[in-house]
Amino acid sequence: MTPQNQTVLALLSQHEEQIIAEWLQEAGAAVGGRATDASRRAMQTEVLEIVAGVRTALEAGADPQAFNGADWTALRQSLETLSRSRAAQGRSAADTSTFVLAFKRPLFTALQRSVPDAQAQLAAVWAISVLVDKMAQWTVSTYQQTREDIIQRQQQDLLELSTPVIKLWEGVLAVPMIGTLDSSRTQTVMETLLQRIVDTGATLAIIDITGVPTVDTLVAQHLLKTVSAIRLMGAECIISGIRPQIAQTIVHLGIDLEGIASKASLADALALALQQRGYSITKSAV
């Protein structure tokens, strides 16, 4: 262990309670009046875990320059837990790194009180700065990855919610499409719809594109792939919601929808589906 790391370890061993108290005070001042009793207790738990992780790593002779090493695993895990928790709470990466960087001031204060030698102080200041900076960098990296995971999961949830498969009648399913169709979304629609066909034994699926703003060659190809997959499952398909401008676009693009039933509205498509299934709808006398 280097002399400067020994100095940092000695500071934590001899002045731990004071360092923790000053760190909490520093971190609390950064958030101002936003801190609640629950958040203060959570902050205290986080500080205790981080200090324990630093002390354990230094006792094992770990070098802050090799922060990815095995000796720093416990500390990295504590920092990852901190970052994920704050990301889930909607806190910013800046708040998270500021909280970690607040660890410097109490260490510097304890260093000034305990180490009178200027050269030893300078070496310890550098060691503290390297260690705390790497801790802050780790929290930011983990925070960013956590936010990306959250955003990706939310996008997937929204994608699934935006493509529901609805049972309209016995043997008749409908998929109302809203928004832009791309390869990823089409794949999700196809998988969900085919699974529902298997689960319900449906023989006809209505794909409603009323909420699709534009239809280009790519969108049409996605629709044709979905129709082909449905037919391979032994079911038929009706496309509804083809507005006049979309019909003109399809014609101008030379897209061949021959053999695929299409209707202007979902109501018309349902009426056709019921007719194909042998149902007739009559208005009862009032």
Q: Which long-range contacts (CB under 8 A, 24 or more apart) does 180-188 make?
A: 180/212, 180/213, 180/214, 180/219, 181/212, 181/218, 181/219, 181/222, 181/223, 182/218, 182/222, 183/222, 184/159, 185/159, 186/222, 186/225, 186/226, 188/159, 188/160, 188/163
pLDDT at 33 over 60: no
For residue range 237-271, list pLDDT tens digits in order. 999 988 888 788 778 877 777 778 888 888 889 98
For residue range 6-25, list pLDDT tens digits in order. 888 888 888 889 998 988 88
Tokens of 221: 């190809």
- Is residue 26 within 8 A of residue 106, CB to CB? The reply is yes
Domains 3-156 and 166-276 share a fold: no
Q: Which CATH class, in words, describes the domain spanning 3-156? A: mainly alpha
Report the C-alpha gap between 34 and 10 in whole angstroms: 34
What architecture (CATH level 2) is domain 166-276?
Answer: 2-Layer Sandwich (3.30)
Report the C-alpha gap between 143 and 86 in whole angstroms: 8
For residue range 70-108, list pLDDT tens digits in order. 889 999 999 888 888 887 777 788 888 888 898 999 999
Q: Choose the weakest-confidence range: 47-56, 99-108, 109-118, 249-258.
A: 249-258
- What are the sequence ranges of the domains in the chain? 3-156, 166-276
Q: Choose the weakest-confidence range: 31-45, 107-121, 124-138.
A: 31-45
**Could you say which DSSP state residue 102 is in?**
T
Report the C-alpha gap between 103 and 119 in whole angstroms: 22
Report the C-alpha gap between 103 and 51 in whole angstroms: 9
Reported pTM = 0.55
